[in-house]
Structure 1
Amino acid sequence: NPNGKRVVILAGRGGNGGGGLVCARRLHNWGATIQVITAHPIDQYRGVPANQLQILQSLNLTISPAQFELPDQPVDLIIDAIIGYSLSGSPTGNAAAMINWANEMGVPILSLDVPSGLDTASGKAYQPTIKATATMTLALPKLGFQQEGAAEYLGELYLADISVPRELYAVMGIYTANIFSGKDIIHLTP
């Protein structure tokens, strides 16, 4: 139950960050106290992330760019939506500072799609990498999650249905059973 819980959303400016900003809105609607920390100045966000930031601003939620100061007050949950599958080398700058801060807080961390700093293809954990309590990956598990060492960054692994048609998977040469039959989220073992 998120009602009354303090949740910090760490949001990059890509699709992963956009997903984190949607989480912020939904958790706010469910009664959580939300603080959004952006990895970049707000005026550098485009598309879905920019639209979601506008919605959050209209709700008067706290939105702070990371270049100022990361919070030092206790929180109940951190949602990692800094860097998704577009990772290219070690996180730097604000992204690295946000990852280090999250890992040092000693509270549960939920990573969206992939822990920031973990390569989805190779499973390589760059420095720094989020050490998630749980990861909610989307559509299908990432190949890198099966690689040695990746599990220590994933935490509990969940797979969420984002309604990718099986026909689209077939076009890509991926053939799957109807894994989400009757469920939106499946618990996987890393």
Structure 2
Amino acid sequence: MIPDAFRTVDGRTVPAVTAAEMRDVDHVAVETIGVGVLQMMEHAGRGLALEALSLLDGDSVGGSGPRAPRHTAAPIPDEPVVVLAGAGGNGGGGLCAARHLANRGVPVRVVLDRDPGALDGPAATHLSILESMQIDVERGPDATATVAPSVILDALVGYGVDGALRGTSAALAGLANETSAPTLSLDVPSGLDATTGDRPGTVVDADAVLTLALPKTGLDADPAPVLADIGLPAAVYEALDIPYESPFDRRFRVRLVRS
């Protein structure tokens, strides 16, 4: 942990945690406090969808207060938002984001790094919801061959990556890097070591990062990450002796800068 790694643009210190420390946060949240995995995934996915809409609208997150209200919505893009999704919490957050975007009339295409039947748990739940909505869910790099995305959402692998990306995940990350569309990564860019910042293989070159609960020690200052509230109470951090003062006030996302 680095207690003063980041700060908000209005000067509040925000600690950064390693991947192992974030696992402890998730464990305490679920097993001790009783926050549900599906619940956290829902918050993560909605935050990711909001950040994607910000990219489409040309807005930015941050500052010491709320944004001025928009009187007119940005036009809905003709090109789809392409969601690259893996398994587990990161992939489930991406699938949830796809639902929120589709509910707001944004065209969405979901590309998995594995067969749909390989998903289980909460991620499989979110996939089932998308299928009931008749949203396109495909697998592998060929699914992106004829698409010119408006935005790419990178939800392939989160802080739990172990070594270099392999197989389909690596291929999808490479394709994301070849497109001119802005790429928004969930929690950390896929392939990045969340603790050290090492790049052992292909890493998504994210234009924006929405990191969850607490920033990770391996995140760089460029792009400046946006921190999303996923509903964890302060008691989670207190149980782990993590110095924490909520940076959110009435906000649900705040931009961070390196201290």
> Fold-level match, TM-score > 0.5?
yes
What is the CA distance between 1:157 and its match in structure 2?
1.1
Shift of the 76–156 alpha-carbon distance from structure 1 to 2, 3 Å rule, reads farther
Gaps of 5+ in 2: 1-52, 57-74
Shift of the 120–22 alpha-carbon distance from structure 1 to 2, 3 Å rule, reads same
- Cα displacement string for residues 71-94 of structure 1 (whole angstroms, at most 9, x for unaligned residues): 332110000000001100000100
Q: Output the CA distance in 2 between the equivalents of 1:70 and 1:87.
A: 23
Aligned partner of 1:80 in structure 2 is: 154
Counterpart pick for 1:165 among 229, 233, 245: 233
Q: Output the CA distance in 2 between the equivalents of 1:62 and 1:69.
A: 10
**TM-score between the two structures when normalised by the length of structure 1:** 0.92
Q: Is the 8 A contact 2:141 2:172 kept in 1?
A: no
Q: Output the CA distance in 2 between the equivalents of 1:171 and 1:19.
A: 25
Q: Is the 8 A contact 1:133 1:156 kept in 2?
A: no
Counterpart pick for 2:122 among 29, 48, 53: 48
- Cα displacement string for residues 83-132 of structure 1 (whole angstroms, at most 9, x for unaligned residues): 00110000010000000000001110010111001111111122200011
Aligned partner of 1:4 in structure 2 is: 76
Q: Output the CA distance in 2 between the equivalents of 1:123 and 1:95.
A: 19
**TM-score between the two structures when normalised by the length of structure 2:** 0.68
Aligned pair count? 184
Q: Output the CA distance in 2 between the equivalents of 1:51 and 1:178.
A: 30
Q: Compare CA radii of gyration and give the structure with the larger one.
A: 2
Secondary structure, aligned partner of 2:225: strand
2:101 partner amino acid: L
- Bigger helix fraction: 2
RMSD: 1.5
Runs of 4+ in 1 over 6 A off after TM superposition: none
Q: Output the CA distance in 2 between the equivalents of 1:185 and 1:62.
A: 29
Structure 1 vs Structure 2: percent identity of aligned residues?
Answer: 37
What is the CA distance between 1:67 and its match in structure 2?
5.9
Which stretch has the larger CA shift, 106-115 or 69-78? 69-78
Q: Output the CA distance in 2 between the equivalents of 1:116 and 1:176.
A: 26
Q: Is the 8 A contact 1:114 1:137 kept in 2?
A: yes
